[in-house]
């Protein structure tokens, strides 16, 4: 579909905004005229018009028919065919979108073919109509405006990359988010896309700027040099963005590795604490018959206390060593200069030594407090009290001597004799035992009474 067809008459300085396309072949032979034909979504009829009115080569017309051509410049007899891409930003996704622009450049005409609306065409249309002072340069100035607007569209894309990269770096360093890897690869993909659009244009401009013999006037030749300078600046900015994206990817991978190491350290601390508790529970969960701690009245609570105390001591030790809860603080440069200080290498000056000593001094009594408490507790039965127990006593008489009710350990009745065994246990693990036959003391014994 033909968007517009305009005619600039350099002889009169007038611009005719509506030119009948079938008259192009006749009008373009007149001296001092410039024709601009713009076609959107070209169909077979539009492409046939290009061949009939301008005599373009079938290969160039075929490139207009098939999209996604590589940026290039082809020279034909009397005209040149250029493929370049406009860069724009999608407001909904904030990503870069491109529009292919095919351009035929002749001595007194410019033909642009593109799919969908092209922003640069509208901008150049306004600039060209506002500045008609280069009519002696023919179509070269119009071609310059189109190429310059297309190249300038890359600068906002580069700035958009920079802003998005700053946001990515903020997410990496300030509040790490593992999902940011998608944004990093999106930036990398778009940067490679823009690089594929910009890099071939450098070869294109090497052809365009061979000299005045390239088909452009002396005045317009200088403007094309400025476009090449802009193109090189964009290329340098893309290379910098590629390096920054690579650095951001390395920083992301380092962040993932650090978070993994931190998680492993926390799991290791948790495993060490649970293993220590399991060790205590395993020792007192054994089924050996002669274990003095099994008869402690507060043995169960003491075991739980030792587990909790051991876990707290381990957590404190790991936190002190910096395995958990460690925050990096700014380091004074004067602290780092230890070459002339012998005291920093002395064992009694080392903070680790004193902190370890404090942990031993505090943690030792905490862990062994149940044992100390049991040893210092008042015994239930003493050797002197047990010596006062005489054969023939009843259970109530024995309990009156000891002052504590006994615990029935076993009872047997064979029909003739009722045999019962009672025990008394002390906190330190010692104990006394009596055997009653028909409710009278028949035997007694003890272990470790004091």
- Determine if the pTM surpasses 0.95: no
Is the pLDDT at 338 greater than 50, yes or no? no
**Region 119-137 average pLDDT:** 77
For residues 111 and 238, membership in a common domain is answered with yes
Is the pLDDT at 245 greater than 60, yes or no? yes
More confident residue, 137 or 8: 8
Residue with tokens 């003095």: 292
Burial tier of 183 (Cβ tally within 10 Å: 0-12, 13-18, 19+): middle
**129 within domain boundaries:** yes
Could you give the C-alpha distances from 24 to 51, 53, 349, in angstroms and in order?
Answer: 12, 6, 95
pLDDT computed for residue 62 by the predictor: 93
* DSSP string of 181-213, one letter each residue: HHHHHHHHHHHHHHHHHHHHHHHHHHHHTS-GG
For residues 400 and 323, membership in a common domain is answered with no
**172 within domain boundaries:** no
Lowest average pLDDT, out of 25-39, 124-138, 190-204, 354-368, goes to: 354-368
For residues 206 and 350, membership in a common domain is answered with no
**162 within domain boundaries:** no
pLDDT computed for residue 185 by the predictor: 87
For residues 117 and 60, membership in a common domain is answered with yes
Using only C-alpha atoms, the chain has a radius of gyration, in whole angstroms, of: 47
**344 within domain boundaries:** yes
Lowest average pLDDT, out of 214-228, 266-280, 334-348, goes to: 334-348
Integer Cα distance of 410 and 180 in angstroms: 71
Of 325, 342, 376, which residue sits at a domain end?
376
Integer Cα distance of 149 and 123 in angstroms: 8
CATH number of the domain enclosing 64: 3.30.460.20
**442 within domain boundaries:** yes
Is the pLDDT at 193 greater than 70, yes or no? yes
For residues 94 and 205, membership in a common domain is answered with yes
pLDDT computed for residue 84 by the predictor: 92
Burial tier of 90 (Cβ tally within 10 Å: 0-12, 13-18, 19+): exposed
For residues 141 and 113, membership in a common domain is answered with yes
pLDDT computed for residue 6 by the predictor: 85
- Give how many domains the chain has, as a whole number: 3
CATH number of the domain enclosing 397: 3.30.1450.10
**Region 55-68 average pLDDT:** 91
Is the pLDDT at 328 greater than 90, yes or no? no
**206 within domain boundaries:** yes
Is the pLDDT at 128 greater than 60, yes or no? yes
For residues 151 and 219, membership in a common domain is answered with yes
For residues 238 and 344, membership in a common domain is answered with no
Residue 341's pLDDT band (cuts 50, 70, 90)? very low
For residues 85 and 15, membership in a common domain is answered with yes
**269 within domain boundaries:** no
More confident residue, 282 or 347: 282
- Residue 99 φ/ψ, nearest 5 degrees: -130, 125
Entry field: residues in the chain: 450
Residue 425's pLDDT band (cuts 50, 70, 90)? confident
pLDDT computed for residue 253 by the predictor: 85
Residue 48's pLDDT band (cuts 50, 70, 90)? very high
pLDDT computed for residue 58 by the predictor: 92
For residues 368 and 400, membership in a common domain is answered with no
Residue 31's pLDDT band (cuts 50, 70, 90)? confident
For residues 317 and 356, membership in a common domain is answered with yes
For residues 30 and 73, membership in a common domain is answered with yes
Of 376, 392, 413, which residue sits at a domain end?
376
Integer Cα distance of 311 and 324 in angstroms: 14
Of 347, 376, 405, which residue sits at a domain end?
376
Mean pLDDT across the chain, nearest whole number?
81
pLDDT computed for residue 136 by the predictor: 59
**169 within domain boundaries:** no
Residue 381's pLDDT band (cuts 50, 70, 90)? confident
DSSP 426: -
Is the pLDDT at 301 greater than 80, yes or no? no
Most confident of 146-160, 191-205, 354-368: 146-160
Domain that holds residue 441: 383-447
């Amino acid at each position: 579909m033909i968007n517009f067809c305009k005619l600039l008459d350099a002889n009169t300085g007038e611009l005719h905004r509506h030119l009948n396309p079938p008259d192009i072949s006749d009008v373009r032979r007149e001296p001092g005229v410039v024709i601009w034909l713009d076609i959107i979504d070209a169909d077979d009829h539009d492409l046939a018009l290009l061949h009939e009115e301008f005599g373009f080569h079938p290969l160039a017309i075929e490139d207009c028919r098939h999209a996604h051509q590589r940026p290039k410049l082809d020279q034909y007899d009397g005209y040149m065919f250029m493929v370049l891409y406009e860069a724009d930003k999608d407001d909904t996704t904030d990503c870069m979108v491109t529009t292919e622009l095919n351009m035929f450049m002749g001595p007194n005409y410019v033909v642009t073919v593109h799919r969908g609306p092209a922003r640069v065409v509208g901008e150049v249309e306004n600039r060209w109509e506002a500045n008609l002072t280069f009519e002696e340069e023919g179509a070269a100035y119009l071609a310059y405006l189109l190429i310059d607007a297309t190249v300038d569209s890359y600068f906002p894309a580069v700035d958009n990359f920079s802003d998005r990269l700053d946001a990515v770096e903020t997410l990496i360093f300030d509040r790490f988010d593992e999902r940011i890897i998608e944004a990093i690869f999106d930036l990398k993909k778009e940067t490679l896309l823009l690089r594929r659009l910009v890099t071939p244009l450098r070869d294109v401009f090497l052809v365009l700027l061979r000299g005045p013999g390239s088909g452009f006037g002396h005045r317009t030749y200088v403007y094309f040099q400025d476009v090449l300078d802009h193109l090189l600046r964009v290329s340098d900015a893309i290379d910098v963005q590629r390096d920054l994206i690579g650095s951001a990817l390395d920083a992301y991978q380092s962040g993932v590795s650090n978070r993994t190491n931190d998680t492993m350290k926390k799991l290791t601390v948790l495993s060490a604490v649970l293993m220590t508790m399991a060790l205590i529970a395993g020792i007192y969960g054994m089924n050996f018959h002669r274990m003095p701690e099994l008869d402690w009245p507060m043995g169960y609570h003491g075991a739980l206390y030792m587990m909790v105390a051991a876990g707290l001591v381990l957590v404190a030790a790991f936190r002190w060593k910096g395995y958990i809860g460690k925050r990096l603080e700014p380091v004074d440069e004067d602290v780092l200069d230890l070459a002339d200080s012998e005291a920093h290498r002395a064992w009694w000056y080392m903070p680790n030594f004193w902190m370890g000593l404090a942990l031993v001094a505090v943690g030792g009594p905490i862990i062994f407090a149940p044992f100390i408490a049991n040893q210092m507790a008042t015994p239930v039965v003493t050797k002197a009290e047990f010596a006062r127990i005489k054969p023939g006593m009843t259970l109530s008489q024995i309990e009156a001597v000891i002052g504590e009710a006994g615990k029935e350990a076993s009872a047997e009745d064979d029909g003739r004799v009722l045999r019962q065994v009672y025990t008394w246990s002390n906190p330190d693990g010692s104990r006394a035992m009596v055997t009653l036959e028909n409710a009278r003391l028949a035997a007694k014994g003890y272990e470790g009474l004091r």
